[in-house]
Chain A
Amino acid sequence: MTTAQSSIKNRQSKIKYYWSLTKPLQTGLLLATGVAGYMSARCPISSIPTNLGLVISLFLSIAGSTVLNMWWDRDIDARMGRTQHRATSAGLVDGNEVLRVGLLLSVIGVGWAVAMDALYGLVVFAGLFFDVVVYSIWLKRRTCWSIVWGGISGAMPILAGRVLGLGSIDWIGLTLALGVLLWIPTHTLTFSMKFAKDYAAACVPTFPSTYGMEATRATIAISSVLAAIAMIVAGYGIGMEWGFLRLLGVLSAGLLMLAFAITFKPSERVNFGLFKYASVYMLAAMILVVLEVM
């Protein structure tokens, strides 16, 4: 292999590592909530520059904050089986370089957002700030309640999208954000139950280690129910057609059924099922919001 070929291969590997550090699936889902939030405002959606600006600024901001989280958590990631193979914790990429890339993505993303609309930029910045500073740096290693702040940051893209479309913050935007905020525990808490030993080894306080499995399951069930209610209320507020509301109701019923199952017949399989179903639920809810407007 020539030096040039080796250099290309190294660069390709690096791009692959950095791509994985942005958690493409999670970022994609949050991006989808942002686009849905924007479209929920029933604003003129044919503006290509605004659409592109929304997608790029949100993607860069979410990806940037995710990369910064990975950089900050690389020591605890290295102690957990689930995350020890990440490029940051496995030492496949230079820590300082990861920090620079994360900051660069974040600055460009937030800067772009502010340039598009000051309030939109503020909400995008709030999401990044809550995620990196409040959740990861300040609270994650101190209290299991850090997930609330992680949840708030996860709810910011949908609020940001709506703010960009509407020009202000309204109750529908806040309800949509609440729906996402309440949906996030089905993910984070299921993970913390499944990988309880990993988190214990890394000394990261979690709901299961602080309050026990039963309370954690109850929390997941309650938050799932409330998330479903919030999404239906938001759907009604947007002015969703009855057909779409019916469909949202059916999907919500599935979520409630699994929340019921996790409370009264708990098992790892049901946990996993709820975790997966919740992702499908949120994606479907976002698609319905988009279809409603189109």
Chain B
Amino acid sequence: MTYKIAMKISPLARVLLLLTGILAAYQISAGIDGFGIVPIIAYTIGFGVLLVAGILLIIWGFEVLDSPVVVIVSTAIPLSLATGLVWQNLASLRTPYLILAIGGFLAVTLTRSLPTPGKIPTVVLAIVHGIAGMTIFLLPIIFSVQGKTHPMFSLVGVGGALIGLGGLSLSFLKAGKPILSKELILKILPVILFLMTLCFVVGFGYG
């Protein structure tokens, strides 16, 4: 059984989503200039999904989260960000990670679009999100601690932790086993999205 996510969106939430969209728009237009082609494409996809999702949340409200497409589209955010990070910082893993990202996205799309038995869709989603999430969380922090990048780059990792927190809360809510009340989750979701995007934008500025 899954829960329907219906709750009126507050003016403050709209403002936060708008700010999230503006930050994502800034990152796409100016924050990734000078990167290689693959990271630019990857970050454009990641922040682009964030931007369009923010606009659609403002227009439709939280009901948009009920759509099964959301699970597929939202997978693109961590996967593309993680791919960009790996491409920029771990040259030896570029191709394997790119294959993993494309394969992971296809796996989530297929298991969510076609009739798939048992818990396979959930397992696939957990693996794909887990790998991408851990990459975004750990890579910037480890590199910052090792002194390979500016300490502020670790903010990307903080953003990764926030995206994981938001994703987990929503997943449990949609599965009908919320770890926090629905009202609280939907109340903090715009805050998480905004802080996460802010961390990414500032962190990538030092990456």
Contacts and interface: CB of A to CB of B under 8 A. Distances in A.
Interface in B41-95: 44, 47-48, 51-52, 55-56, 59-60
A243 B33 contact: yes
Interface string A262-279: 000000010011001100
Given A243-B33, A246-B29, A250-B28, A273 B60 contact: yes
Contacts of B51: 250-251, 254
B52 A257 contact: yes
A253 interface: yes
A250 B48 contact: yes
Contacts of A273: 56, 59-60
Contacts, number: 44
Given A243-B33, A250-B48, A250-B51, A277 B28 contact: no
A253 B48 contact: yes
B33 A253 contact: no
A243 B29 contact: yes
Interface residues of B, number: 16
Contacts of A280: 55, 59
Contacts of A254: 51-52, 55-56
Nearest to A281: B55
B1 interface: no
Contacts of B52: 250-251, 253-254, 257
B30 interface: yes
Chain A residues touching B, range:
20 to 34
Contacts of B28: 243, 246-247, 250
A257 B59 CA distance: 15
A277 B52 CA distance: 9
A249 B25 CA distance: 11
Most chain A beta carbons < 10 A, residue from B25, B30, B40: B25
A241 B51 CA distance: 19
A244 interface: yes
A55 to B, nearest CB: 25
B199 to A, nearest CB: 20
Interface in A237-263: 241-244, 246-247, 249-251, 253-254, 257
A250 B59 contact: no
A262 B6 CA distance: 22
Contacts of A242: 33
Given A250-B48, A253-B48, A269 B29 contact: no
A190 B19 CA distance: 28
A250 B44 CA distance: 8
B60 A243 contact: no
Given A246-B44, A253-B48, A257-B52, A277 B29 contact: no
A283 B67 CA distance: 27
B25 A269 contact: no
Contacts of B30: 243
B25 to A, nearest CB: 6
A189 to B, nearest CB: 18
A283 to B, nearest CB: 11
Contacts of B56: 254, 273, 277
B54 to A, nearest CB: 10
Given A246-B28, A272-B59, A273-B59, 8 more contacts: A243-B29, A246-B44, A247-B29, A273-B56, A277-B56, A280-B55, A280-B59, A284-B25
10 contacts: A241-B29, A242-B33, A246-B28, A247-B28, A250-B28, A251-B51, A253-B48, A273-B56, A280-B59, A288-B29
